[in-house]
Structure 1
Amino acid sequence: MNQRFTEFFRFSFIILISVSYVQAQSSFIPLNDDYYHLIDRLEIKRGKFTEGFHSTVKPFERKAVVALTDSILKEGTMQLTDRDWETIDYIREDSWEWTKNMIATDSVRYNKLGRLRWFKSPPPGKKRKFWEHPADLYSIHNKDLDLHFNFVTNNFFGKDNNTSSSLWFTGRGVEIRGMINEKLGFYTFVSDNQGLFPKFVRDFAPQYTFPGEGLAKVSPSNSSVDFLTARGYITFRPLKSINVKFGHDHNVFGSGYRSLILSDNSSPYLFLRLDTQLGRFKYTNLWTSMLNNDGRSWKDGLRGKKFAAIHHLSVNITDKLNFGVFEAEVFNRDSVGGGYDLNYLNPIIFYRYVESYIGSQDNALLGTDFRWLVGKKGSIYGQFVLDEFLTKYLFNGSKSWTNKYSLQLGGKYVDAFGIPNLDLQAEYNLVRPYTYSHKDGGRNYAHYGQSLAHPLGANFKELIGILRYKATSRLSAYGTLMLAKQGKDPDASTNYGGDILKGYETRIGAADQTFQHRIGDGILANTVFTDLRLTYSLAHNLFLDGRYLIRNVNSPSPQFAQKTNVFSFAIRYNVAYRQQTF
């Protein structure tokens, strides 16, 4: 099967590459909550959806985001604050290769506000070798090659009351993106990282891993962590309306701080993605190869494989209302070295039919999402995921374990209460016990031991509040409050439905179909998480972060109860802030 898939993939890839009519192709903006909120804010204040991308499908193409700013400048009807004009400037400078048709008009105020440059522009008639553009250390831009090269670094030091030694972290690497012959886009990012993180972060991910990353080595002497971050892909358009992307990275479906469909919580994975956009419709196919936590030691040997086939249809019903449906299938044919089931390569078929057709018991999920722009002041969004259910139990209030579903409802409010540049967000997430898990644990909705959806897994309720305030051109304030109630397992052999890596056949009350499973069953843990951050921009994508974090977990069990106070100071360049909200 593995050989069949390899030959099929090679044939398909050659066919796609050989298509004569290939369009100019943009790379994508890396996932970054701070950055993507700026885009979201502009779309909300514009009061209608962007033509070039659907905001529920991430990441976004750089070309499409610049096109959004083009539309804003051309229309000239939005009520923008000075900070908004600076945001437009920042976004356009960050993807300057797509601004060659920049609109020249006196109404473009952002040119007068001044860019956040590292140093002054060169004298007239002279060209700088490095940092010719503030967004790039080095760049080339012509019809044969568009190249953007940057170094990246992330460094912090701080203190955790649960750790005797001072916290520290250093990460350094490179980021390269661009196009070849204005047709083939590419992106690569690699960073070598070492550090001592707060205890709750070290305890969160499974052994030999790190939250949001893959393999990690832990020093037995001081608990510091050593891991490598790497992402990379190529992308091209065989047809005007179809984009193809292949590589290792994250993909996200949703409009919220969390995603219950597919998030960037786990480490990057290998994928082939097709985006077809026709007017108001965007159809995304995603075929992935992932690694399975099968209970073996992860230190040596080839790790077990698992695969997923996902498709998502997003429809802009109006200029303000978006509705989407999705289906995912997770399967695993062999524990090690298994191949992809060719039946799931059909891009326009109902996967649940395929599952029954081939007689498999793969893990199927169905769901919907929506987003509604409200009065140029806010947006309301939500998701619903149905993992498994029996009708006779779903509607009779029995709290059966088969009622496996998750629900999200949230909203954003920009320029809140008439205060310019103050943005608020509130979000509620609920995930029933055993959602995202599977009978044998080998086809759970996880990759490299970490959830593909919410970091808490299942068996929880969560309320999140976020405040964002851009006080000056350079200074921004962020506040995140998370309140979570979750049921925990007392030991590795007990399963109350919160750990999605465990097979649901090991559940509590497995012999009794009428046994009631409620959110919070097991050892109850109530978490109050507060993250306060001030960020100062020294130059384009160069930031100083001051952070104060309070995390209190109240539980009757000492193994879960914990009080955490963390203070840290960081400097980062061309890399996103690590949220670690769990």
Structure 2
Amino acid sequence: MGKSIISTLLLVFSIAQTTKAQSSLAPLNEDYYHLVDRYEIKYGELSPFFHTSLKGYTRSSIGQYADSLLNEDKQLSHQDKFNLEYLRNDNWEWTGTEENISKKTFLNHFYRAKSDLYHVREKNFDLHINPVLHLSGGRESDDDVTTQTNTRGIQIRGVVDGKVGFYSYIGENQVINPLYVRQQIASNIAVPHEGFWKNYKDDGVDFFTARGYITFNATKHINLQFGHDRFSVGNGHRSMILSDNGPAYLFLKLNTQVWKINYTNIFANLTSDVFGNANGLIANTSYPEKYMAFHHLGINIGKKLNIGVFESVIFDRTDSLGNNSIDIRYLNPIIFYRAVEQQNGSTDNVLLGLDFKWLAAKGVSFYGQFALDEFLLENLKEGSGWWANKFAVQLGGEYVDAFGINNLDLQLEANLARPYTYSHSSRYGSYSHYRQSLAHPLGANFYEGIGIVRYQPIDRLYLTGKLIYAQYGFDGVDENWGGNILLDNNSREMNFGNEIAQGQQADLTYLDFTATYMWKHNFFIDGKIVSRNLSTDIASADSDTNFLSLSVRWNIPQRLHEF
């Protein structure tokens, strides 16, 4: 990443000599994070341990939050008590729980704690090792292929000398996806949420998943991380700012949480493009790189309202010989990136905007995001559909313990992105990584509505229903209507008269019902039914499929393809 990054890391590591104990983060997992976030909404009060707009959370903060809720005199359903005890057990090295001690061990060394295959607890060393397994089989009506997932891996976390935390995960995967996912892979040369891949049998893909980092506190309130992972910003099902849609990337992250403020900097090394075909990616070549500098400032106003502002810049500095280097001016953690970009005389891709979360009443919250790529107020007022009025909007709400029914949670969300949002005049300047959007999986040029129902009727059973409806525009042959963010926006079809969902129109309806049973700690059995209907202006692109699957998961989240 260049001498500047190496110098920065040397400084970071030197600071680590005086750090205090620091935990790893809980891996991103939609179901897991909902269990944590719902308690802010349930009690109508922002958590003092973390800001929910920045994910992931440290395991220590999750454990402390669960401890505080159980210790307070609050009305909790039996399922809530089970969930909080589950969170305490999952982060037991940071909690006061004794419930995690196993009554029966395996060979006297394994599963001495309910949540860990193997652990070490010494004064200067804490270690947790767990297996990862995801096996599934399914069938769909749209194609005569048996779908499958076969993931085996290992997850390790711990703390050295009470100062430096670490996390590592590696998994080997062979997956045969439903037809619509296979079609997406063929058209984009990218496996959703993953990096390098190769062909597996006639219809599948084979790939490694690897994430890992170190983390420590430079001071009581400033945390640093360095490694290979991904993050998510926002309180919605989708994120219009930064999501975990793409694969992990090399990053340096600084997080400052003091008073009511949370300030996050992320400096990342991204992959601009990849080369391959239906048989997989080419391994003996160097893929072009680009960089991202991102910062987000959030503040709690009282106990009900959190407001955040963000700015992100995507840039590359490729010389005539094809060598690339980071622009050290963007490493300034407290500067306005747009000013740096203009000062450089560059055409880097800068996005800025805001997000909010309002706990309107106990059990009810509203949230939203606004991401601004470019716009001219004059053209916006005229309503002329100027192509460079590029922005994305999200509005949503959640209702926890709806209608007085314990552990019935409802969520509604609306998203939109104007044509050409997140794209750039350089194919290396798009808001993407490994040919996948860093924000919404549909890219741009769409409307979307989402409804989610979650219900936990008994302790170990979780029922989830999702309805996603989207209307978007896609490109015909040699066209660019603004939905594909990887295309150079200089190839746009017109300067004025642009509207959302322009081009070849598609209407997508996606229904998902999942029943999940947790047999043992972090050992899940999923039954899933998916119905997906795509109706387009091009009859040959239409599809209508019903997909059923049964899965066994151990220490790994669901693999979702909600597009």
**TM-score category of the 2 structures, normalised to the smaller one:** over 0.9
Alignment of 1:124-523 (within 5 A): 128-205=108-185, 207-219=188-200, 222-293=202-273, 298-299=281-282, 300-334=284-318, 336-491=322-477, 493-509=478-494, 513=495, 515-523=496-504
Looking at structure 2, the residues matched to 28 and 294 of structure 1 have their Cα atoms a distance apart, in angstroms, of 29
The CA RMSD measured in Å over matched residues stands at 1.8
Amino acid in the other structure paired with 1:455: P
Shift of 1:373: 1.0
Amino acid in the other structure paired with 1:62: R
Looking at structure 2, the residues matched to 564 and 306 of structure 1 have their Cα atoms a distance apart, in angstroms, of 38
Contact 2:70-2:84 within 8 A present in 1 as well: no
- Select which of 78, 81, 86 maps to 2:82: 86
The percent identity for this pair of structures is 43
- Select which of 121, 127, 138 maps to 2:103: 121
Shift of 1:127: 9.3
Looking at structure 1, the residues matched to 471 and 295 of structure 2 have their Cα atoms a distance apart, in angstroms, of 31
Looking at structure 2, the residues matched to 68 and 535 of structure 1 have their Cα atoms a distance apart, in angstroms, of 25
Alignment of 1:16-95 (within 5 A): 16-18=15-17, 20=18, 22-76=19-73, 78-95=74-91
Residues 450-487 of structure 1 deviation map (CA, whole Å, 9 limit, x = unaligned): 00000000000000000110111121111110000000
Shift of 1:75: 2.5
The reply on whether 1:534 has 2:515 as its aligned counterpart is yes
Q: Secondary structure at the match of 1:274?
A: strand
Contact 1:293-1:501 within 8 A present in 2 as well: no
Amino acid in the other structure paired with 1:309: A
2:8 corresponds to: 9
Contact 1:294-1:442 within 8 A present in 2 as well: no
Contact 1:209-1:217 within 8 A present in 2 as well: no
Residues 392-439 of structure 1 deviation map (CA, whole Å, 9 limit, x = unaligned): 112221111111000000011111111111111110000000000001
Amino acid in the other structure paired with 2:431: Y
Contact 1:525-1:555 within 8 A present in 2 as well: yes
Looking at structure 2, the residues matched to 311 and 6 of structure 1 have their Cα atoms a distance apart, in angstroms, of 17
Gaps of 5+ in 1: 105-110
Looking at structure 2, the residues matched to 418 and 7 of structure 1 have their Cα atoms a distance apart, in angstroms, of 55
Amino acid in the other structure paired with 2:234: G
- Select which of 543, 552, 555 maps to 1:562: 543
Q: Secondary structure at the match of 1:395?
A: helix
Q: Secondary structure at the match of 2:464?
A: strand
Q: Secondary structure at the match of 2:458?
A: coil
Q: Secondary structure at the match of 1:203?
A: helix
1:573 corresponds to: 554
Q: Secondary structure at the match of 1:471?
A: strand
Contact 2:262-2:299 within 8 A present in 1 as well: yes
Gaps of 5+ in 2: none
Looking at structure 1, the residues matched to 219 and 523 of structure 2 have their Cα atoms a distance apart, in angstroms, of 37
Contact 1:233-1:249 within 8 A present in 2 as well: yes
Amino acid in the other structure paired with 1:540: H
Q: Secondary structure at the match of 1:239?
A: coil
Looking at structure 2, the residues matched to 396 and 37 of structure 1 have their Cα atoms a distance apart, in angstroms, of 42
Q: Secondary structure at the match of 1:420?
A: coil
Aligned in 2, Cα 1:140/1:437: closer, same or farther, shift over 3 Å? same
Looking at structure 2, the residues matched to 447 and 405 of structure 1 have their Cα atoms a distance apart, in angstroms, of 19
Amino acid in the other structure paired with 2:76: L
Looking at structure 2, the residues matched to 225 and 122 of structure 1 have their Cα atoms a distance apart, in angstroms, of 40
Contact 1:393-1:402 within 8 A present in 2 as well: no
Shift of 1:296: 7.8
Residues 281-306 of structure 1 deviation map (CA, whole Å, 9 limit, x = unaligned): 01001100000027787514000000
Shift of 1:576: 0.2
Contact 1:369-1:382 within 8 A present in 2 as well: yes
Looking at structure 1, the residues matched to 37 and 368 of structure 2 have their Cα atoms a distance apart, in angstroms, of 15
Looking at structure 2, the residues matched to 296 and 529 of structure 1 have their Cα atoms a distance apart, in angstroms, of 30
Q: Secondary structure at the match of 1:66?
A: helix
The number of aligned residues is 556
TM-score with structure 1 length normalisation?
0.93
Q: Secondary structure at the match of 1:437?
A: coil
Aligned in 2, Cα 1:201/1:367: closer, same or farther, shift over 3 Å? same
Looking at structure 2, the residues matched to 5 and 367 of structure 1 have their Cα atoms a distance apart, in angstroms, of 28
Contact 2:189-2:276 within 8 A present in 1 as well: no
Amino acid in the other structure paired with 2:502: D
Q: Secondary structure at the match of 2:183?
A: helix
Shift of 1:378: 1.8
